[in-house]
Structure 1
């Protein structure tokens, strides 16, 4: 594969660290003498031909910024054969030899479709949900986790001041990673995740056990894929009579400056994407496993089971919340 000019886009939900990934891809490519084009507004930008050449200055002063300066957009048209055909026409019009896609599961499937049309792609896992196959961690997860943890710590302050039970809903779509890690780090009494449904009676028993030994407040973390925090809070209040409040953290978890861990991960992944393109690889996705950069065939990665929750950590959280 002749490689002279590449493009990069960010797609799906934004995640802290996406800018760091774009910076790394751009600068590593330029270091190796390649030209780089940024695609604005994700796959919609491919269809519209919204590509702009990036230079070293284009990606300066962005490593610390949340979101994505290339922006992101949902694109139903790209799901059609006609939409994908337009995208390929524009890629060829700009003489792009390969495309790097930063995003989640849906973004990967878009890259898979382009690979099937014979256009070289590389996928980077960018999502706060940490639910992408082929990698231990995704770009944005650590920042979202720390954002959630900071909120839990602050809510615990008011929970103890007013002797209340708080139910806190965190994001993660169908994955419980944010809830699990934030719950353990925040000392939550109960953590509800979609991967291991828990009878609400166990939650109530755990709360009541704390009350019986003189505990004045409790924190319950609910992953959005495990149900509505409001329903959990209503049931706790009904069954225990405790003063119970509900907080839904929502999209605040998507924003903010990326943590050092996310900046480093994004930088390593972005640079690695260029390395494997220079090796002639295509139709691959980048991941980190055991601290090492890896790449997998995109078809194989999407056929793998979803990133599995560490159930040992869930059990540990229960043991520590007695």
Structure 2
């Protein structure tokens, strides 16, 4: 694959528009991460889009009115293809596949140019769309639903633009986004503000470290579910644990078995309050939470070391 740098194009010729082209990268990476749920795959998709741009002869590049729109279209099509093949790959994945967690979402915020100073509602929508709970819901969608929903509802592309990417009519893309929207609404009840989430996560950590099953049960929804992703590369429970009481007992047992070198700490996970486990200073587990009312409803445990590479400096 061609490597794109700020000094010139893949053909080695001067490129006066390089700064503008590379300025599109944060937006492209933000879109691709939400489409794929994998930071590594998102970066690969964006790199491939740039490689295809620089593989074109100069006269074809000059004929493209909006290189940014072209890159978005190509990167989104690449993601659509990756999503199709990912479903096959994940059938052989060891245990449950979960999205790759991020320690710092600043690079992955995205949005349209000027979004940081635009409508606050747009900023909130972008922040929520990188939440791990939101990404888990996206995993339940078909590839076409996911692309239509993310591009239209999150990044404000028209259905005509989405249709060009998905290869369906604008009306069909509208239906895809509507179907995806219903999935999101059904799966995501209103959640408390981050301050309330943080208190719950902090209380959960204290009760866990104290092996206080009663306190843990009080913090968990009776129908809570805990899911882990070790990818066959790290020891963890293979099937989801269901029920607040079952989770409380399992977490108390984890505390009893914890090696002395392992320590837990609060740390944002995809911009939301979460926990990390460090062993001899290295992050070995990331815990993300979903909350409804005043109870924890979901816990996601990511232990696959391939998904924790970005946590090395935390």
The normalised TM-score by structure 2 is 0.26
Q: Does 1 or 2 have the higher relative contact order (CA < 8 Å, sep 6+)?
A: 1
